[in-house]
A and B are shown apart, each in its own frame.
Chain A
Amino acid sequence: MFDIQSFYEAKSVEDAIRALSQDEKAQVISGGTDVLIRVREGKDAGCSLVSIQKIPELKGVELTDSGDIKIGAATAFSHITNDPLIQKYLPMLGEAADTVGGPQIRNVATIGGNICNGATSADSASTMWTLDAELVLEGPEGERIVPISQFYTGPGRTVRDRREICKYFLIRKENFEGWHGVYKKYGKRRAMEIATLGCAVRVKLSEDKTRIEDGRLGYGVAGPTPLRCRKAEAVLKGSRVGDMEAVERFVETALTEVNPRSSWRASKEFRIQLIGELARRALKEAVERGGGIMNA
C-alpha cells in the first residue's frame, strides 16, 4: 500500500487543474516512476495524487502544419523511441529516451515527468536544451509557453506552479531541420543507472560538410540543473570540420561554464574529466552523422 492521502484520475486537463487547485497537498502523477518512489521513501508520504494517465491529448508525437514537432508530456519513453516521426526528425531524442532505466521503466516513465521532476540527471533534459524545446503549461490562470532554458530554478525546482500541467513540448523546425546530434550518457552500469554525466551535442554543417555552421552543447549533472554552454557553442560556430584546435578551445570554454560537484556517484574531478571527454566524443559522432569527416 502506498502511503498517500487520496488518488484522483483526472478526466481532462481542466479537471486535473481543478482537482489540484482544490487540495493543497495534491500533486500531479504521470508515470509515477519518480513520485511513487518518493512516496515509498517517505519523502512524499501523505500527499494526494492527481493522475493524468488517462488524458489522451497528453500522449503522442505530432507534426504541426508549420513543420514543428509536438511531443505530448505524458508520452512514455519507449513510445518516443519507437515513434516514426521521432525516428525521422529527432533520432537523438529517441536514443536519449532509450538510456533511461530499463525497458519496464521506459514503458511507463514519461518525458513530461522527466523534465518536470527537475533533476539535473534527467536523461532527456540535455537533449531538450539543445533543441530549444518549449514547454506548454496550463494552469488556473491559463496557458503559457516557457522555453526550457527558463524552466529550471535549482535542483528539483522549476518555475512550474504546483497546479500547472505540462501539456506538450514544442520543438521548432529550425532547431532540428538540417541538424544532427548525439547524446552520451556515462554511468557505472550500462542500464538501470542514473547518469554520472550526460552530454548532448548538436551540429549544423555547411552544405559541403566542411564547416560547422552552428553547434549546441548541453549537459546533465554538470551543475545543479541541466544546462547549455553558450560560450562554447560560439567558439564552435563557423569552425572548420576537423579543426582540432577549435575542438580543444570548445572544450576549454565549456569547462568555464559548468559547475559540477562531488557526490557519492563520482567526484567533481572525475565529472570535469567526463565533461571534456564526452563533449569531444559526442561532437565527433554528431559531425559524422551530419556527413562530415572529423579527423581529416
Chain B
Amino acid sequence: MLKIVHMTVNGTWRELAVDERESLLDTLRNRLGLTSVKKGCEVGECGACTVLVDGEAVDSCIYLTMWAEGRSIMTVEGLKGPNGELSPIQKAFVEEAAVQCGFCTPGLIMSAVEIVGTGKKYNRDELRKLISGHLCRCTGYEKILDAMERIVEEVYRTVNEEQT
C-alpha cells in the first residue's frame, strides 16, 4: 500500500508516496534517482548503502523508508558545491587515490562526513574502527585511511584555528 512520507533529502523538503515495505535504499535510488547510494549485500554487512539520517551514518538497505518521516537524509549528491565542485572530503579521496572501482566510495564518504563532523582528531587505529562497517574489495583500505587521516587533520586544524 502506498503511504505518504515527508523528509528532507539533501536539503530539500520532500513529500513522497512510497510502499511501506520499501527500504530507504530503494526509495533513494528508484524514486529519487540518487544512485550514489549503492546496493551491495542488502543485509547491513558491506556499508555500500550508507547515508546520513539526521547526521548519523546508517545502512539504508535495512532502514525502512517509513522511519525517515520528518527526518533529514543526506547522500553524496548533497555534498556538491554551488558550482558542482567536489567537497574537501571527496577531493581528499581523489587525491590520495582512495578510489578504485568506486563501489564502496559513496558509503565511505558519508561515514567520513559523520566522522569529520565531530571535529575530533582520530588516529589511524581509531579511524580503522570507524570505517569497519564498510567493505572495500579493491584498495586494501590503506589509501582510504590516508584520505581519512588527511581530512580529519585538515578539519581539526581549521576548527582549532577558528577558535583561537
* Residues on A with beta carbons closer than 8 Å to the beta carbon of B69: 9, 54
- Of the four ranges (under 10, 10 to 19, 20 to 34, 35 or more), the interface on chain A belongs to 20 to 34
B58 at the interface (CB under 8 A from A): yes
Give Cα A9–Cα B6 distance, bound, in whole angstroms: 14
* Residues on A with beta carbons closer than 8 Å to the beta carbon of B130: 103
A270 at the interface (CB under 8 A from B): no
| CB–CB A192/B132 < 8 A | yes
| CB–CB A105/B111 < 8 A | no
**With A1-B19, A32-B62, A108-B63: A78-B132 Cβ-Cβ less than 8 Å:** no
A101 at the interface (CB under 8 A from B): yes
| CB–CB A103/B133 < 8 A | yes
Identify whether the interface residues of A are mostly helix, strand, loop, or mixed: loop
CB distance from A261 to the nearest CB of B (A): 25
A107 at the interface (CB under 8 A from B): yes
B64 at the interface (CB under 8 A from A): yes
Task: Specify the chain A residue showing the minimal Cβ separation from B110.
Answer: A104
CB distance from A273 to the nearest CB of B (A): 26
**With A1-B26, A51-B67: A102-B133 Cβ-Cβ less than 8 Å:** yes
* Residues on A with beta carbons closer than 8 Å to the beta carbon of B50: 104
* Residues on B with beta carbons closer than 8 Å to the beta carbon of A190: 129, 132
Of the candidates A3, A7, A37, A191, which one forms a contact with B44 in the assembled complex, judged by CB atoms under 8 Å apart?
A37
| CB–CB A107/B58 < 8 A | yes
| CB–CB B44/A103 < 8 A | no
| CB–CB A103/B111 < 8 A | yes
| CB–CB B132/A107 < 8 A | no
* Residues on B with beta carbons closer than 8 Å to the beta carbon of A7: 20-21, 64, 66
| CB–CB B56/A1 < 8 A | no
Give Cα A3–Cα B64 distance, bound, in whole angstroms: 12
B22 at the interface (CB under 8 A from A): yes
* Residues on B with beta carbons closer than 8 Å to the beta carbon of A32: 62-64
**With A1-B21, A2-B23, A102-B133: A37-B56 Cβ-Cβ less than 8 Å:** no
| CB–CB A33/B44 < 8 A | yes
| CB–CB B20/A6 < 8 A | yes
A4 at the interface (CB under 8 A from B): yes
Task: Specify the chain B residue showing the minimal Cβ separation from A189.
Answer: B132
B57 at the interface (CB under 8 A from A): yes
Interface string of B1-40 (1 = CB under 8 A from A): 1000000000000000001111100100000000000000
Give Cα A108–Cα B59 distance, bound, in whole angstroms: 9
CB distance from B21 to the nearest CB of A (A): 5
Interface centre among A6, A33, A105, A190 (most CB of B within 10 A): A105
- 14 A-B pairs besides A2-B23, A107-B53 with CB distance below 8 A are A1-B26, A6-B20, A7-B64, A32-B63, A32-B64, A40-B43, A54-B67, A102-B47, A102-B132, A103-B131, A104-B57, A105-B59, A107-B56, A191-B129
20 A-B residue contacts at CB 8 Å? Answer: A1-B19, A1-B21, A3-B21, A7-B21, A9-B67, A32-B62, A36-B64, A40-B42, A54-B67, A78-B56, A101-B44, A101-B133, A103-B114, A103-B131, A104-B44, A104-B47, A105-B133, A107-B53, A107-B58, A192-B132
Q: A interface vs B, CB < 8 Å?
A: 1-4, 6-7, 9, 32-33, 36-37, 40, 51, 53-54, 78, 101-105, 107-108, 190-192
The 6 closest A-B pairs by CB, nearest first: A102-B133, A191-B132, A7-B20, A107-B56, A104-B133, A36-B62
